[in-house]
Structure 1
């Protein structure tokens, strides 16, 4: 999970690795889904239920942040903790801008190298190409986002909200859930979301909606800390039933069934931008089963040396790396006529590179750890998910 690292960035051997493992699986699934058109994409869980890896990632992130900051927002420490949180938000913002610029460069390079100017009309690039001055300003102000480059910006906004969540949590858990849920509901009913500057739309992942899932993860892990999640047979049965119905709904394409009864889409639809209830309940049902059924949660308690643990522990660096790989993979798919075999081989190679990169980051941390420090080298911390730096 996200407890503090030892001296020089060495990860403690007592670290609970389950959140690292589930975060790694979410990161790898995001990468696979971000190279559309290859065979592995059809095996990810978005094909068997209402939610996908984005919901899982945000829920896990909320849990990680709860463990990292939940007990630190005490009187006398609030300013220091708030500044650390804001620094993390700035890091996420810079990472978003960096990946967006690299994404543009990858597609522009593909357009030049392969004589495929049509590449500059993909993933929402055309507006920046046609209106460069406005486009660059819009990117920097988060008013224009490229396709598949919208998670980090939303996540940065969640961190800007985090000090307020912590303040409410210390006063009343119910108050925090009520405020967060009200924001989610109002945003969904009245379609309130950050606007795009170059068109009439809004962010693909609305932080005002997704903060509710983030808060649920945050509160849930803190309430269960030290005693685990209680097993309720009724909730177990309802969660399992909902997952089965969701799978049948997607696999059998029951999308023509209307059960809205005139209610707002946020309550009965399947909208991802405003995180409709169907998607929210799906990820929560899956998380509840994993948390309360030992055979599902204990397998993830892998040794710290396990490759999956390394991928999850270096979450931000690995996510940036995976995004860059995915964008290059999309260019490959376009210039090869979306050949699914080549795309699958590329994706498999990309998954292997995720593990190799995480191993490299571990190696880098080891050579800048206590031994290197004694030799006069400056120790660098290991990137540990959402732990405070």
Structure 2
């Protein structure tokens, strides 16, 4: 599997996420799938244009956010699983927490830039109603409290909520690794219990300026991250996923059911039977079981059929590989572009054609920026790495 996830500490400069060295035999599979998630997240964050209807959220219970967090867990297990040893735990924990702080800073930076984009749109186009979009209004009405709340993660702007959740999960990562060292089953049970308790008892970080809470609850989403981490660490120990016909049939059946459920809008079917919503609903905040099982079923099918693995083995200089390799800076770029795209759609009367053209250009900028980061990283290497 691949060496590092750019959202995790790696051989980078600590600022831009640019690699100083790239393993010559780097496995590109997670890079490719991560790049596809990043592009899809960008497309979904510019709602109201045509390309949005082609993304996975229209064909199943889960979307690219679930896939991205699962891949992040896999990558964390790969990057840290064998390093969390006696004598190295404190140093590695500090390194992980430094990355969590980097994610926090990136979240604050993108939030401030988002405010500037929407405020600039309101000034330049004379559209003060832009300030009422994506939860900006509370910051304007309560400026002093609002900025304190934003810095303390007590207020989040719309479409600016992934990095904060991910930073909290990273704060928990050393504890996850410690529990795994005691027993993988203990880690799984503890993580599952936290996920279930968060969903049943609404345990979630709150917002300070209203009665709401975080859109992506880290106490829920950590479970998906842990599942990915455990799977990777077991795989590195030589324990392969079982390719059993029953598991394949169940996974394929659930993915198919999910497809028809979403495409034909069967949301009015009630199968709760009095059970908690986290087990029978479709809530994204608390990562309901329906969404969790869907992304795991898809991942299982991708993992057990070699054709998907072969398709994702690409050259190191392939555009998708470069995007996946520089995931944090590319994600930041995608967030900023998406916010500009939302303003564009707003001032053009939500014209889907303009939005679609913007998204196509934005995807091209993703590739161009990843290429630039790769070139920049190559300047610090004695020789450019070739696939």
TM-score of the superposed pair, with normalisation by structure 1: 0.94
Q: Tell me if 1:81 matches 2:92.
A: yes
Structure 2 equivalent of residue 29 of structure 1: 40
Structure 1 equivalent of residue 102 of structure 2: 91
Separation of aligned partners in 2, 1:18 and 1:207: 26
Q: Tell me if 1:153 matches 2:164.
A: yes
Q: Tell me if 1:173 matches 2:174.
A: no
Q: Secondary structure at the match of 2:27?
A: coil
1:64-143 to 2 correspondences below 5 Å: 64-143=75-154
The alpha carbon displacement at 1:5 in A equals 5.0
Moved over 6 A (4+): none
Residues 69-93 of structure 1, C-alpha deviations (whole Å, 9 max, x = no match): 1111100000000000000000000
Structure 2 equivalent of residue 199 of structure 1: 210
Separation of aligned partners in 2, 1:140 and 1:5: 29
Structure 2 equivalent of residue 62 of structure 1: 73
Q: 1:345 aligns with which of 345, 348, 357?
A: 357
Q: Secondary structure at the match of 1:259?
A: coil
Separation of aligned partners in 1, 2:287 and 2:326: 27
Number of residues paired by the alignment? 372
Q: Secondary structure at the match of 2:353?
A: helix
Separation of aligned partners in 2, 1:324 and 1:147: 12
Q: Secondary structure at the match of 2:34?
A: helix
The alpha carbon displacement at 1:368 in A equals 2.0
Separation of aligned partners in 2, 1:369 and 1:134: 46
Structure 2 equivalent of residue 369 of structure 1: 381
Structure 2 equivalent of residue 285 of structure 1: 297
Structure 1 equivalent of residue 247 of structure 2: 235
Residues 106-152 of structure 1, C-alpha deviations (whole Å, 9 max, x = no match): 00000000000000000000000110000000000000000000000
Separation of aligned partners in 1, 2:266 and 2:276: 19
Structure 1 equivalent of residue 3 of structure 2: 2
The alpha carbon displacement at 1:227 in A equals 5.4
Separation of aligned partners in 1, 2:366 and 2:216: 25
CA contact (8 A) 2:46 2:339 kept: yes
Which runs of no fewer than 5 residues in structure 2 stay unpaired?
Answer: 5-9, 14-18
CA contact (8 A) 2:3 2:23 kept: no
Q: 1:334 aligns with which of 325, 346, 369?
A: 346
TM-score of the superposed pair, with normalisation by structure 2: 0.94
Which runs of no fewer than 5 residues in structure 1 stay unpaired?
Answer: 373-389
Q: 2:314 aligns with which of 279, 302, 313?
A: 302
The alpha carbon displacement at 1:10 in A equals 2.2
Moved more, 217-226 or 74-83: 217-226
Separation of aligned partners in 2, 1:43 and 1:343: 14
Separation of aligned partners in 2, 1:314 and 1:212: 25
